[in-house]
Structure 1
Amino acid sequence: MTMAINNLKELYIAELQDLYDANQQANATVEKLIDAASCPDLKDALKNSIDGTKDGNKQIKSILDSHGEGVGDETCLGMKGLTKEAEKHVLKEEFGDDSVRDAMLISQYQRLAHYAITGYGTVEAFAKRLGDLENAQTLEQCKEQTMEGDLHFTKLAQASINKDAMAA
């Protein structure tokens, strides 16, 4: 049984813990997706995203520590669903061409990234409202880095992968 969340500070902590778990789940899935990618640039982007997410989680853990809280043991059910979908659509689907799989992989990866962007935006807003301005700035940087990574995947798709998938 979970305890009631009574104020914005408690909600902020709960959402930070949820985002931490979401990032952990996303990274575990991205690790599996790397082997499925055929495009070397896509493989590199996936590897870089793992490093970025780990850095984000270090920041989240530091923020939680600064509030005397740990990362918790809750499971982010939203990310759990997204990771199951990514694994189903990339690892279990049959594809007639590797570029089509790569296009699907980007689609599924970006769903994971958009969930994280939303999570960072939410906790950033809570931090600002609570006057936790230094941590709000850190969370904004994490959000911006995740958005830059997402844009990189869009550019990969637009530069070659979607074109190759269309020709398949």
Structure 2
Amino acid sequence: MGFFSKDIHSLDDLFVHTLRDIYYAEKRILKALPTMVEKASSATLRQAFQSHLGETEGHVRRLEEVFRMHGVEASPVKCPAIDGIIAEAEEVASEVADPEVLDAALAAAAQAVEHYEITRYGTLVAWAKRLGRNDCATLLQRTLDEEKATDAKLTGLAETQVNMRAA
């Protein structure tokens, strides 16, 4: 089902499609984070990635709970956006030899991922409320809050440590 597929007839259909999109994205992020942990030279950045790995596992479980509550199968749909963000991060990382510059690149890539997730979860919260699914909105809001906190943490790390070392 493509984003503007004929299979999307209602806001509920769009809500489910977008849930499946972010479900794919979270699972893709779970696969990418261990490599980011391994490549980071900064212990603080490595710890931030490791911590977010655990959070992301929780996000997947929470999404599976939203699917269950909404009465639909928890199945992913391919998300070209997250694939592109991760592919770009991998390409840039493969071109950087200096470990401190690589840390800056990894932090920036992680923030691009966070920003994508923030837009998706913000939209899903709004749609869940509009559909009268405050139960789903509450779970999705928890994840949105965690994604915003991760983005703020990455910003702090970048501004106070990682970018300074790379310069």
Range of TM-score over shorter length: over 0.9
Which of 89, 92, 95 is the matching residue for 1:93?
95
CA deviation vs aligned residue, 1:22-47 (integer Å, no higher than 9, x gap): 11112211211111100001011001
Task: Compute the displacement of 1:140 (Å).
Answer: 1.1
Q: Counterparts of 1:46 and 1:160 in 2: how far apart (Å)? A: 15
Partner of 1:128: 129
CA deviation vs aligned residue, 1:66-113 (integer Å, no higher than 9, x gap): 1221222421111111111111111x1132x21111001100111011
Which of 53, 75, 83 is the matching residue for 2:56?
53
Which of 7, 12, 25 is the matching residue for 2:10?
7
Q: Counterparts of 1:138 and 1:73 in 2: how far apart (Å)? A: 18
Give unmatched runs, 5+ long, in structure 1.
Answer: none
Q: Counterparts of 1:82 and 1:149 in 2: how far apart (Å)? A: 17
For the 8 Å contact 1:37–1:102, the answer to whether it is kept is yes
Q: Counterparts of 2:75 and 2:121 in 1: how far apart (Å)? A: 17
Q: Classify the secondary structure of the residue corresponding to 2:53.
A: helix
Partner of 1:16: 19
Which of 65, 68, 72 is the matching residue for 2:75?
72
CA deviation vs aligned residue, 1:107-132 (integer Å, no higher than 9, x gap): 01110111111110111111010010
For the 8 Å contact 2:122–2:141, the answer to whether it is kept is yes
Question: Aligned pair count?
Answer: 164
| Aligned 1:5-44 pairs, distance under 5 A | 5-44=8-47
Task: Compute the displacement of 1:3 (Å).
Answer: 5.7
Q: Classify the secondary structure of the residue corresponding to 2:126.
A: helix
Runs of 4 or more above 2 Å deviation: none
Give unmatched runs, 5+ long, in structure 2.
Answer: none
Q: Counterparts of 2:86 and 2:151 in 1: how far apart (Å)? A: 16
Q: Classify the secondary structure of the residue corresponding to 1:12.
A: helix
Task: Compute the displacement of 1:141 (Å).
Answer: 1.4
For the 8 Å contact 1:49–1:149, the answer to whether it is kept is yes
RMSD, aligned α-carbons: 1.3
Q: Counterparts of 2:21 and 2:137 in 1: how far apart (Å)? A: 17
Q: Counterparts of 1:114 and 1:81 in 2: how far apart (Å)? A: 14
Q: Counterparts of 1:19 and 1:47 in 2: how far apart (Å)? A: 20
